[in-house]
């Protein structure tokens, strides 16, 4: 294998990465031509300036949603799909350095975005440039696409796909090596139904987490407590009510969690047997694969459906549940939605769409996946790690023929979204070597 990444190449990348990390680029209120506020826009402009300074041609969306940097020539486009927004610093006291000033310490680069996703973006840009500097010519256009809204609602990629040419193949270096070739479809929805004069309840939580607790402050508390005890659910009396305890996990791992809202709903169904939405919860039970409701929904690639119920609202006007489904990649979305709608009908409930993100699935026998896997193995010597599937989501699924590839090694500690986010220079170097070799094999 040719050596593309030298100390000098990495040093240059680190220097420029510092400029990008220095821009606090979390989502804020929109300004003119900066739909996610000034930070993400400035980070986008900064990374494009870096790209220009090393020979890429650049384009910025006039409305400020996204930009891209391109190098090489050809009909086809190989995309590297990245993002310049970050999550906020969070608890500032938990940081040992300033989050928006990149600091090198003990061989590690500290700062918000060093792992997610500014570090991998800038490292990849310099890795690709190094191939060109070694005297090679690309047979495709290599396009770095920079989104600015990954941590929130992905509106940047919706705009990109509306306005720009699709890529022909590509990678999103925003996850882990070796690669993720399947990500489940993501459907967030409401189930609405009749209300009740007996009960007024408003337990509202985020879609994407299993609720770890639910507080009941309504009538008949002694009977509700007795019902919880009969179910052997963990609960205790608190001021003004009862707290049902669960175990909160991400919705994609819902079967590993304990859903406090569902537990409370099941106990309430014993005390208020006429309320339809509670009858539904009783039937659903503690089965976050929704087997009681839908039977087995799974495929041989990505496993079982997960079904998280995160909110329960009941008033005289109506009732509403909030659900998050992670749908196996080979399951037909529309058929599944119809199945859910049919399954809730006996409870006089209706299905309502909130948000849908299509799945990612690039089979492992494609040229893209085979080349990326063999590159990873040849560069690292790691032949144990296998192509992965995930219930999570990367920008890879917004593009054709695109998989998540890197840029964290399986041994890299995960600091994404956390205090003291950092990326070791050694892991960065390895990631640059893998990306350079992969682009060389696919595009030279």
- Residues in touch with Zn ion (CB under 5 A): 116-117, 174
SS3 of 343, please? helix
Q: Which is nearer to Zn ion, 68 or 347 (CB)?
A: 68
In whole angstroms, how close is the CB of 117 to Zn ion at the nearest point? Answer: 4
Helix-, strand-, coil-residue percentages of the chain, each rounded to 5: 35, 25, 40
Separation between Cα atoms, residue 271 and residue 5, nearest integer Å? 67
CB burial string 89-127: b at 16+ within 10 A, e below = beeeeebebebbebbeeeebbbbbbbbbbbbbbbbbbbb
Q: Which is nearer to Zn ion, 117 or 421 (CB)?
A: 117
Output the CA–CA distances (angstroms, integers) from residue 71 to 55, 117, 251, 332, in the order listed: 8, 21, 39, 38
Q: Which is nearer to Zn ion, 113 or 328 (CB)?
A: 113
Q: Which is nearer to Zn ion, 117 or 433 (CB)?
A: 117
Q: Which is nearer to Zn ion, 116 or 183 (CB)?
A: 116
In whole angstroms, how close is the CB of 397 to Zn ion at the nearest point? Answer: 13
Q: Which is nearer to Zn ion, 86 or 271 (CB)?
A: 86
In whole angstroms, how close is the CB of 210 to Zn ion at the nearest point? Answer: 22
In whole angstroms, how close is the CB of 86 to Zn ion at the nearest point? Answer: 8
In whole angstroms, how close is the CB of 358 to Zn ion at the nearest point? Answer: 18
The residues near 424 (Cβ < 8 Å, ≥ 6 apart) are 107, 108, 109, 412
In whole angstroms, how close is the CB of 355 to Zn ion at the nearest point? Answer: 18
Q: Which is nearer to Zn ion, 16 or 85 (CB)?
A: 85
Strands (E) in 284-428, as ranges, are 298-299, 303-304, 306-314, 319-327, 350-357, 360-361, 388-390, 402-404, 407-408, 422-424
In whole angstroms, how close is the CB of 344 to Zn ion at the nearest point? Answer: 34
Q: Do 146 and 42 form a contact (C-beta atoms < 8 A)?
A: no
Spell out the SS3 assignment of 55-66. CCEEEECCCCCE
């Amino acid at each position: 294998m040719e050596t593309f990444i030298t100390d000098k190449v990495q040093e240059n990348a680190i220097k420029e990465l510092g400029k990008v990390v220095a821009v606090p680029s979390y989502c804020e209120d929109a300004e003119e031509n900066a739909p996610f506020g000034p930070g993400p826009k400035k980070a986008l402009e900064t990374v494009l300036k870096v790209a220009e300074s090393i020979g890429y041609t650049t384009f910025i969306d006039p409305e400020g949603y996204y930009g891209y940097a391109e190098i090489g020539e050809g009909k086809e486009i190989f995309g590297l799909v990245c993002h310049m927004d970050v999550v906020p610093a969070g608890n500032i006291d938990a940081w040992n350095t300033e989050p928006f000033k990149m600091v090198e310490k003990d061989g590690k680069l500290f700062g918000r975005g060093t792992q997610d996703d500014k570090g991998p973006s800038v490292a990849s840009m310099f890795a690709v440039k190094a191939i060109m500097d070694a005297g090679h010519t690309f047979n495709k256009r290599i396009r770095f696409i920079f989104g600015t809204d990954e941590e929130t609602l992905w509106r940047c990629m919706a705009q990109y796909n509306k306005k720009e040419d699709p890529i022909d193949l590509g990678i999103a270096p925003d996850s882990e090596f070796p690669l993720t070739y399947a990500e489940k479809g993501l459907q967030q929805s409401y189930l609405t139904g009749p209300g009740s004069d007996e009960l007024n309840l408003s337990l509202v939580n985020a879609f994407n987490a299993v609720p770890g607790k639910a507080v009941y402050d309504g009538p008949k508390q002694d009977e509700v407590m007795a019902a919880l005890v009969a179910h052997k659910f963990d609960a205790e009396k608190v001021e003004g009510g009862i707290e049902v305890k669960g175990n909160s996990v991400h919705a994609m791992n819902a079967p590993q969690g304990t859903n406090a809202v569902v537990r409370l709903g099941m106990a309430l169904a014993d005390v208020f047997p006429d309320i339809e939405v509670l009858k539904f919860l009783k039937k659903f039970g503690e089965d976050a694969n929704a087997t009681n409701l839908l039977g087995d929904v799974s495929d041989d690639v990505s496993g079982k459906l997960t079904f998280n119920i995160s909110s329960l609202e009941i008033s005289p006007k109506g009732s509403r549940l909030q659900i998050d489904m992670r749908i196996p990649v080979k399951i037909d979305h529309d058929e599944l939605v119809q199945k859910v709608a049919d399954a809730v009908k006996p409870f006089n409930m209706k299905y309502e769409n909130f948000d849908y993100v299509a799945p990612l699935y690039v089979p492992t026998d494609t040229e893209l996946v085979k080349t990326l896997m063999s590159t990873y193995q040849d560069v690292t010597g790691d032949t144990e790690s296998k192509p992965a599937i995930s219930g999570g989501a990367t920008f890879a699924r917004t593009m054709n023929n695109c998989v998540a590839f890197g840029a964290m090694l399986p041994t890299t500690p995960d600091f994404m979204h956390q205090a003291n986010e950092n990326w070791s220079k050694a892991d960065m170097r390895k990631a640059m070597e893998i990306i350079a070799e992969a682009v060389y094999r696919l595009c030279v």
